[in-house]
Amino acid sequence: MRVLLAVFACGLRRYSTYRVATLSSIVVNGVFGAVNAMVLLAVFDARPRINGYTAEDAVTQVFLAQSLIGITAIFGPPLDLGGRIRDGQVAMDLLRPVGFVRWWLAQDLGRAAFALLSRTAPTFAVGLALFDLALPADPLRWAALAAAVALAVLVGFGLRYLYALAGFWLMDTRGVNAVAWLAGPFCSGMVLPLVLFPDPVAAVLRTLPWAALVQVPAEILLGRTVLPGGAAGGLAYQAVWAALLLALGAALTARATRRVVVQGG
């Protein structure tokens, strides 16, 4: 445990060095959030309620989504694991006396912890300053949101870990990451709330793990969870996907490390 805490601290310290990049990310998230919010306000001006969502609900989801970009890393950065597989340094990683998945998870949680403090809170504050957001008065809903955000981080890590593991077979994961960074925002409710999609499309997107990154936390915040069981059902959905992705990552790691190939050797 002490080793994992040290890895967590290293991950936090590493990303805290990029202060200018962090500041620029807040500006970009705030600007794109404002643009997206104004587009949705125009849509809801023509139709005040869509599948139970109001304009205020949609704008709130926009800024929650922008706030979650940093901690879920839905647009990246990819795990360094992909590059280490490509250049052969993964062979040294496998010698560490710590579980492979746990090592990378601890490092990524350090990154997410820094992003929570440096990007998530300031970006959401921008939304509060510019728009009227639908914020709950019930502290239990805020507690449920905190749990949903934590599970979203685990799901985000599980997905990115699988993208990186593809390097054991493909040798280069840049193509996988490029496709994932296109599909993830679309399928998660980050670009548009899933309630704005046609019902058959939204139903399919809700079965995919990306919905656990944005749509489910947003619905928990808004008190509009469509899954059975309300907020508890949403959290259970996230927990199941997190467990499945981590279990799949562990199983593929066990298989992949039996066939480590160092490029050029």
- Which residue type does 84 have? R
pLDDT of residue 46: 84
Q: What is the pLDDT of residues 184-201, one digit of tens each?
A: 888 999 988 998 998 899
- Which residue type does 30 have? G
Residues with Cβ within 8 Å of residue 107, at least 6 apart in sequence: 7, 8, 10, 11
The Cα 235–Cα 226 span in angstroms is 12
Q: How confident is the model at residue 4 (pLDDT cuts 50, 70, 90)?
A: confident
Nearest to 81 by CA among 97, 98, 94: 94
In the predicted structure, residue 93 carries a pLDDT above the cut 80: no
The Cα 223–Cα 123 span in angstroms is 21
CA angle 112, 115, 119 (to 5 degrees): 155
The Cα 12–Cα 250 span in angstroms is 24
- What are the structural domain ranges in the chain? 2-259
38-42, 154-158, 160-164, 171-175: least confidently modelled range: 171-175
129 close to 216: Cβ distance less than 8 angstroms: no
- Which residue type does 180 have? A
Residues with Cβ within 8 Å of residue 264, at least 6 apart in sequence: 88
pLDDT of residue 264: 45
Prior bond of 217 cis (ω within 30°): no
Helix or strand holding residue 234 (H, E): helix 230-256
Helix/strand/coil for 211: helix
Helix or strand holding residue 265 (H, E): none
CA distances from 252 to 8, 82, 257 (A): 23, 14, 8
